[in-house]
Amino acid sequence: MKTGKYLFGCLIIAFLLTNISFVKAQISNSDSNIKAIKTVKVVKEDNQAESLYYFNIAKAYEQEKSIDKAIANYKLAIKTNPNLGAAYSNLGLIYAEKGDYKNSIEVFKKYLNFSNNPEEEASIKEFINKISPLLK
């Protein structure tokens, strides 16, 4: 009889310990979620951080070959920080690779306002000069 009570007590203790571990895991997940929410809030309050956030998301989508999602995020990066030249450059390249030369040229023209690389500028201008007549 004492063995049965002992085993029953052990089962209850094991059950309680399992529940304590579960609750601790849930609290840990909640803490992570709260930190993530606070991070998003900080990003939303800082346009430069927000634009870099969208820029990095766009690059990740680009690597995954999710081109439409990459385009959308590059546009958000530009919307939140119109001075982010790299977003214009990458967006122009994506449009060109996609065959959307009209949008590519439009974005590249805006990018030329930010570029400080004469070789890159020359390549982009050459691209624009070769493709523009074909679109008319």
Distance CA 107, CA 92 (A): 5
Same domain, 57 and 121: yes
Residues 14 and 57 grouped into a single domain:
no
DSSP labels for the chain? -HHHHHHHHHHHHHHHHHHHHHHHHHHHHHHHHHHHHHHHHHHHH-HHHHHHHHHHHHHHHHHTT-HHHHHHHHHHHHHH-TT-HHHHHHHHHHHHHHT-HHHHHHHHHHHTTT---HHHHHHHHHHHHHHHHHH-
Q: Are residues 78 and 134 in the same domain?
A: yes
Q: Are residues 118 and 136 located together in one domain of the fold? A: yes
Same domain assignment for residues 116 and 87: yes
Count of structural domains within the chain: 2
Question: Is the domain of 40 the same as that of 51?
Answer: no
pLDDT in tens, 31-84: 454 445 445 554 455 678 888 899 999 999 999 889 999 999 999 999 999 999
Domain identity same for 1 and 68: no
Residues 121 and 66 in one domain: yes
2/68 same-domain check: no
> Which domain covers residue 38, as residue numbers?
1-45
Between 21-25, 58-62, 118-122, the lowest mean confidence (pLDDT) is in 21-25
Q: Are residues 68 and 13 in the same domain?
A: no
Question: Which pLDDT score is estimated for 95?
Answer: 94
**CATH code (residue 127):** 1.25.40.10
Whether 73 and 54 have beta carbons less than 8 Å apart is answered as yes
Read off the tokens for 129: 């000069």
Same structural domain for residues 59 and 124? Answer: yes
Question: Does residue 78 share a domain with residue 14?
Answer: no
User: What pLDDT is attached to residue 120?
Assistant: 87
